[in-house]
Amino acid sequence: MKKGLLLAEETLKMILALISLSILAYLLFSIYGSGKEAKDLEFAESSLDRLVREISVGAEEVEIYNPEGWVLMSWPYSEDDEILLSCSNLGWKDCICMVENIGSVKRFWYDQSFTQNLRDAFFEKIDEKGICRENVLGLDVNPFDGGQEPLQIDNPPVTLLIDYSNKLIGVKDGT
């Protein structure tokens, strides 16, 4: 009888220890994840500030190094598109934004023929977890029109070409 009670008591201790370790692991991963998100947002802000600074001095090429896995886009895409809240609240008519890319799992749910759905997803995400700057010259960054996607920052550095006459920002071939 004592052996049965001892076994039950030890089993209970093991279960409580596993639950405690699981909670600690969850907390550590949460802290790490929030720190990484904050760091990526800082990288996005500094990269976007650099891009806007280079545009203001008339640079034709700008290298973007961070954050990897994010995208660069401009708003609005057409005359009837809404402007982001984070831009309209500041009185901006056009803005350039960086936001974490919607991953391939989420992208699977957005059919490319329905670009409005994908654009809406980015629209919502930028106000929550993106960064924007005023786009004084009204440059378009790889617009969705024609099935194009926003500029991706993959395998940095990414060299952006700025075409002031056509008001476009694109990616240099080979980067």
Number of domains into which the chain is organized: 1
> Which of the two residues, 7 and 65, has the higher pLDDT score?
65
pLDDT in tens, 44-70: 889 999 999 999 898 899 888 888 888
Reading the block at residue 122, the tokens are 């980015």
> Which of the two residues, 140 and 77, has the higher pLDDT score?
140
In the predicted structure, residue 112 carries a pLDDT above the cut 50: no
- Tell if the pTM clears 0.75, that is, is over it: no
Structural domain of residue 70, as residue ranges? 2-171
Helix extents (H) in the chain: 2-56, 85-88, 104-108, 115-129
